[in-house]
Amino acid sequence: MNDTPLYASKRTARSLWQQYRIYRDRLELEAWILLHAVVVPVGEIRAIEVRPSVFSGRKGLTWGIKLDFSDLCRHVLLSKSRGLFKSIAFSPDEPEKFVEICSSILADR
């Protein structure tokens, strides 16, 4: 595994001071509630998108696991092809940039 992240989000209150990182071969999503980092290999990513807050309209509510205060602000929704929880929502400091970089590594595969 490559140890240099392409992107590492800043720790903020809305992300519960967790950090989300993109590597060339995986995503690492800190999850204090789960007591470890969720590692998602690039091959398991089915879709990734930026979602609005629940206050902005009907598309804001996210079904699935929420690692932080994702429904209350713009957030990222990650859909996986495997695992018990196939939808994970989280709030990096720059959701659009996170999705852009993640989409670029998906295009390389």
65, exposed or middle or buried, with CB in 10 Å at 0-12, 13-18, 19+? Answer: buried
How does pLDDT run across 5-28, given as a tens digit for each residue?
999 999 988 888 999 999 999 999
What is the average pLDDT across 87-97? 94
- Does residue 76 contact residue 91 with C-beta atoms inside 8 Å? yes
What is the average pLDDT across 23-39? 87
Element (DSSP H or E) covering residue 107:
helix 95-108
Name, of 42-46, 66-70, 83-87, the range with top average pLDDT.
Answer: 42-46
Q: Is the pTM of this model over 0.75?
A: yes
Which sign does the torsion angle of CA 7, 22, 11, 97 carry? positive
CATH number assigned to the domain covering 7-108: 2.30.29.30
Q: How far apart are the first and last CA of the chain?
A: 16
Delimit the domains of the chain by residue range.
Answer: 7-108
